[in-house]
Amino acid sequence: LVAALTSVGWQAWNWYQNRNAGEAGALYYAVQQAAEQQDAQKARDAAGRLIGEHGGTVSAQLGALLSAALQFETGDLANARAQLEWAADKGKDAALRDLARLRLAAVLLQQGEHDAALARLQAAPTASYKARFNDLRGDVLAAQGKKAEARAAWQAAIDGLAAEGEDAVTLREVVRVKLESLGA
């Protein structure tokens, strides 16, 4: 009897997990479709539902990031910020949290909230984002008029990007130009 109940319980749990994954996938697909159609309202609504109903899934994080990108493109920084804050603070996947923090700091820089942007960049990211965090940190510090600190951040970004080889040539050149623009 115990074995039969355990088996039925296990099957019910698997069915529940599969059903939730299917629903999350369908909502993420709705966010993708809205993004392809450049429909910011539909993307925001679908991402909100995805976060509300399936917030513990990677699909919810991806949906928030995708919707936030569309909100940013359309100039709706407040909604982009809200979705990125959720993905950065409550997302389950560490790399996606770092990506959300990076994008959130860019939104905060656009909004002129330099201290808040630096705060989002403070915690050490995963290794793959370190150079990009340093690049954006340099942008924020330059916007604050802190040339020496911006120079150090951009140099750290260039050093990190040099280790990435040919994959990062373009970004390395962009950061080099920023560094040179500060002058001596």
Q: Running DSSP on this structure, what letter comes out for residue 74?
A: T
How confident is the model at residue 163, as a pLDDT?
Answer: 81
> Which amino acid is residue 169, in one-letter code?
V
The tokens describing 108, both together, are 């905060």
Alpha carbon distance 16, 12 (integer Å): 6
Q: Position of tokens 């260039």?
A: 158
**What would the mean pLDDT of 91-102 be, rounded to a whole number?**
94
Cβ neighbors of 93 (< 8 A, separation 6 or more) are 58, 61
Contact 60, 30 (CB under 8 A): no
Q: Is residue 36 packed enough to be buried (19+ CB in 10 Å), middle (13-18) or exposed (0-12)? A: exposed
The tokens describing 9, both together, are 């319980």
The tokens describing 38, both together, are 């450049």
How confident is the model at residue 175, as a pLDDT?
Answer: 93
SS (H, E, C) 116-133: HHHHHHHCCCCHHHHHHH
Number of Cβ within a 10 Å radius of residue 170? 10
Q: How does the average pLDDT of the chain come out, rounded?
A: 91
**What would the mean pLDDT of 47-72 be, rounded to a whole number?**
93
How confident is the model at residue 14, as a pLDDT?
Answer: 80
pLDDT at position 65 over 80:
yes
How confident is the model at residue 184, as a pLDDT?
Answer: 52
DSSP sequence for 126-176: -GGGHHHHHHHHHHHHHHTT-HHHHHHHHHHHHHHHHTTGGGGHHHHHHHH
Q: Position of tokens 């629903």?
A: 23
Q: Which tens digit of pLDDT belongs to each residue from 102-133? A: 999 999 999 999 999 999 999 999 988 999 99
pLDDT at position 162 over 90:
no
Q: Which tens digit of pLDDT belongs to each residue from 12-36? A: 888 777 777 788 889 999 999 999 9
Q: Which tens digit of pLDDT belongs to each residue from 145-161? A: 999 999 999 999 999 98
Q: Tell which residue, 122, 130, 140, has the closest CA to residue 161.
A: 130
User: What is the biggest distance separating any 2 CA atoms in the chain, rounded to whole angstroms?
Assistant: 80
